[in-house]
Every structure is written in C-alpha cells, then in structure tokens.
Amino acid sequence: MTSWRRTAALVRPYAGPLVAASVLAAVVAGCRGLLVWLVRDVLNGLLVDSDARLALLIPLGIVLLFAVQGAARAGRTWLTRRSAIQAEAALRQRLFEHLLGRSPARLSEDGVGDRLSRLSHDAGKVRTAMGAAVTVVQRPLSALALLAAAAVMAPSLFVWSLVALPAVAGVIAWSGRRTRSSSLAHARSLGRLETLARDALRGLRSIQAHSAEDAVARQFATDNEQQVRSALRTTGYRVVGPPLVELSGAVGVAAVIGLGSVQVARGELTPGALVAFLVALGMLNEPLKGFAVAHGLWSDARGALERVFAELDTSDAPVEGGVQFDSDRVCLTLEAISVDRGRGPVLAGVDLALVPGEIVVLHGANGAGKSTLLDVIAGFCPADGVVRWNGVPASGLSLRSRRSHLALVDQHTWLGVGTLLDAVLLGRPSASREEALSALHAVGFAPGEGLLGELPHGVDTPVGDAGAALSGGERQRIALARALLRDAPVLLLDEPTAHLDPEHGVDLLDVLRQLAPGRTVLIVSHSEQPDLIADRVFALRDGRVRESSRRAAAS
C-alpha cells in the first residue's frame, strides 16, 4: 500500500470535517475568481463607459470578498488542524500499542531510541501531511478559478500563458523528490540522536564516575551536527521550490504582458480585460507557490510517515493467536531447548521439568543463559525445541493466555513512573487497594513503618523515573509484592536476592516458601541463598542443565 493510501486510511475517520474544510477552500478560491471579474467590469466601466459611480464598487466589493474569504479560510484552518491533531494522537496511540506488543529482544536489536523517535517525531508528521493535503485541494481550486477567469478575459493570452506550466510542474516535482529524501535522512539522524541521548542519560553514573562527560558530549555534538545538516537540506529544498515556481511563472507573465499590450493597441482587447487578466495571473502566482509549498510539506511528511508505517509492518510473535490456555496448576516441560543470539549457542539442548509445588533453583555463570531460559518460558525470545504447558506445545497456545498464568520478578526491576501503589497494581490492575497493601505487607512493608512510613504520601508517593527514588532492594521487594498480587500459578524469579542484605534475603525466601504450594517456581541466581528453600538445584553449563550437588550441601 502506498504512502498516499495509508495516510488516507489514517485520516478517513475525519473525512467529514475535511470535506467541510475543502468546501471552505472552494469558497476561498471562488472569492479570488470573483475579484478578477470585479476588477474587469469596474475598470471597463471607468475607462470605457466613464461611469464614475462604479468607483464605489471597488472598495465595497474588495471588503466584502475579503471578509467572506477570511471567514472561510479561518474555518478551513480550524477544521483541518483539529482533525490533524486528532489523527496524530490516534496514530501515536496505535504505534505505542504496537511497540508494547513487540518482542523485547527484537525491539532492543532494532533500537529503542530510534523507535521512540518514530513515536515522538515521525508520528507528528501526520499533522503536516493533513495540512498539505487540504492545501493541495485548495490551491488547485484557486488556480482553476483564476485560470477560468483569465480564459474568459482573454482566450488567446490564456493559451500563451500555459506555456510556462510544464516548467512550473517540473520544479514542483524536483523539489518534492529532494525534500522527501532529505527528510527521511533527517528522521533517521534524529533517531540516532535520541538513541545516544537515551543511552547516555541511562548510564549517567558511569559517565560521571569516569569523567567522560566531554567525550560523550563531543559524540553527541557530532551526531547533532549531522541532523542539523540534514534538517537544513530539507528546509533548503522546501524554501527554494516556491521562488523557482515564481520565476518560471514570471517568464510566462512577461511574455503575456508584451503580447497583451500589442492587442490593446490594435483594439483587439479592452484595457480592463488586460488589467483583469494580469491580476488573474498575478493572483495565480500565490496558489502555484502554495502548491509547491504543500508538495514540499507532503514530501517532508512522507519520509517520516514511511518510517512509522515500516514499524507498524514489523511483526514479531503474535500474542493473540492459538488456543487459550487456562489451568490453576501448570507443569512446564522443556525439551531440547536451544537458543542462538548470533554469537554461538546460549542454550544447547536444555531439558527440564518443572512441576507445581516444587521450587527449582538454577545456577550458572554470567552469560550462561539463565535469563534466556526464563525468556523462553515467558515467550520473549524464539527457541528451537519444545516448551510444553501441561503437555501441550506452547506454539499452539495463545501467548497472552500463557503469560496471564505467570509472574516474573526480573533482575532489573521496572516500576514505571507512577506511585508505589501503581507499581504494585501493575501485577493485577483490577485488584483493590487493600489487596495491594496486603501484598506489600507480605514482603516486609508494613503500613506506616519502614519505607511506607518514610515516604511523604505512603503508597501514593511517586516512585520517580522507573523507580529511581528507591533502592535496589526496595525495588526488588516491590516487584515480589507485584508478583504476589498477580497470584499466578507459575513464578519466575531472576536473581531475587541480588539487591538484598542477608536478613532481608531470608525474609523474602520465607515468603517464597509460603507461596510454593500449588505453584511452579523457578529461581535463577548466582547466590547460594535460594538453595535453602530449593527442592531441586541445577547448574547451567555449556548451554545444558545438569544436576547440582549444592542442594545437598545446603541441607
């Protein structure tokens, strides 16, 4: 589907207001054509018939026509911009929901910063595209009205004036092509810039600790200069188009003036008709330049929108397809699971059975594939082999329904930018406030004490950007409270005690032991502490799972 058709599909819900805006654009065009007629008739009356009373028609007619034209233009602009703002919001919402459905691993590979640029900058170009579309409707209407008036005034001169149109069309097409290519380059450079800024601010502690601010700033300045150059190229092509259109038209106007003067001298054309014809040509210059501007704007918007459409066309694993899974108890069986992320096998034929009521701990060195194994179970990354849910291959089950049966406590806990209560309710948004408080209490956050007593508004205190206002251990326990609230039959934990001191680590493990009955629990960890509550302990080495003797030692 072409950019035109896809953009048209975006604005189709706003067809009514846009049609009304086009009608008002036609009113503006009609006012300009009537102005030409007014000039001809009044001048002929003054110059040929010497009727002085007609002199009053010029100011009155001009005021009336411009009043109608101004009201129509204001209405057209309001309808267009309101529809454009609504379409932009709808497109941005659609793109954000699409990004929420992407595979985390694939999204990271494609570049999160670049996708954020498409969400913030590129999606906004639909507003530019809609404004250009209405302008493209209005300008030709104005041009047709003026050309019709000119054709009636002086048919022979009208034919000669058409000679310049191919040159005008060529200039418009050339500037549009150049604008589109440079706009696409600008959008890409903005994506790289946003990626760099996002990454640098996320690693600000490391940058400042190594006094690397100047080096990172220089890199940003280089990329920033590149986007400035691409932005200036885009602006340059958009700016140069209208003057070139104007110059092309001026050549035709000059030739017509000479020819018209000869016809007036011979008596073949009245002075009023010549002046009116020249007024029409002069006024025609504006819609032609406006068309060039609109074409440039559309070309600019098209490059950015193509990036949005490309992202919307990106397809990862479907979330909704497959049979719905529903069970209070889940037995997970992993058979010959292998994963290769481009640097050799991470997992190479993993076999593992996880049953309800049993806590399994999996150890392994950094990069051994522990987190990858959790990703496979949660459906975050593709893998060879089979994962069975109660004996049914996961590939035949709805990914969303499978995920509704598991709770994940990630190694790098994400809490969002809302309140502490919001962070917990993410586990089950339909839960009550009392249920969320109970989950917090279960992980050691008693009401009015400790963290909840220190925060100015208790659980209603904002946790900062992604939980930055809290310590690592506090974030970890809140994540566990969220998992408790979710009350899922499968519990996956990635380094749950990594940010906790030994005492709080033991408290957390006690909570997990209380949760274990009826649940399938898998813990991956460097620490030996989770072994204290484990029913089975395994080691992940060379991409395979092996029985471990650490459980016996812990006992």
- Residue 345, pLDDT above cutoff 50: yes
Q: What is the pLDDT of residues 512-530, one digit of tens each?
A: 888 788 899 999 988 888 8
pLDDT over threshold 70, residue 349: yes
Judged against a pLDDT cut of 50, whether residue 554 lies above it is answered with: no
pLDDT over 90, % of the chain? 12
Phi-psi region of 310 (alpha: psi -120 to 50; beta: other; left: phi over 0): alpha
Check if the beta carbon of residue 17 is closer than 8 Å to that of residue 82: yes
pTM of the model: 0.70
- Over range 149-178, report the average pLDDT: 67
Q: What is the mean pLDDT of residues 156-175?
A: 67
Q: Specify the residue for token string 């249920």.
A: 435
Work out the pLDDT band at 250, boundaries 50, 70, 90: low
Per-residue confidence band for 355, with pLDDT thresholds at 50, 70 and 90: very high
Matching residue, tokens 């190479």: 348
Q: Which one has a higher pLDDT value, 366 or 402?
A: 402
pLDDT in tens, 70-115: 888 888 888 888 888 888 888 888 888 888 888 777 787 777 778 8
Q: Does 281 or 494 have the greater pLDDT score?
A: 494
Q: What is the pLDDT of residues 251-267, one digit of tens each?
A: 666 666 677 677 667 77
Average pLDDT in the chain: 78
pLDDT tens per residue across span 102-112:
877 778 777 77
Q: What percent of the chain has pLDDT over 70?
A: 74
| All domains of the chain in start order, with CATH | 3-312 (1.20.1560.10), 332-554 (3.40.50.300)
User: 206 to each of 192, 202, 203, 465, how far by Cα in Å?
Assistant: 21, 9, 6, 18
Rounded distance between C-alpha atoms, residue 231 and residue 300, angstroms: 10
- List the single range of 26-40, 201-215, 382-396 with lowest mean pLDDT: 26-40
102: alpha, beta or left, given left = phi > 0 and alpha = psi -120 to 50? beta
Lowest mean pLDDT among 51-65, 206-220, 437-451, 468-482: 51-65
Is the pLDDT reported for residue 139 higher than 70?
no
At a CB cut-off of 8 Å and minimum separation 6, what does 200 contact? Answer: 207, 216, 220
Q: What is the mean pLDDT of residues 297-320?
A: 77
End-to-end CA distance of the chain: 64
| E strand or H helix at 198 | helix 165-202
- The whole-number average pLDDT for the span 465-472 is 70
In tens, the pLDDT along 414-462 reads 887 788 888 898 888 899 999 999 988 888 887 777 777 788 888 888 8
pLDDT at 159 over 90: no
Give the pLDDT band of residue 359 (cuts 50, 70, 90).
very high
User: Which residue, 307, 369, 83, 282, is CA-closest to 183?
Assistant: 307
Q: pLDDT at position 251, please?
A: 67
Q: How far apart are CA 312 and CA 98, in angstroms?
A: 7
Above 90 in pLDDT, residue 332? Answer: yes
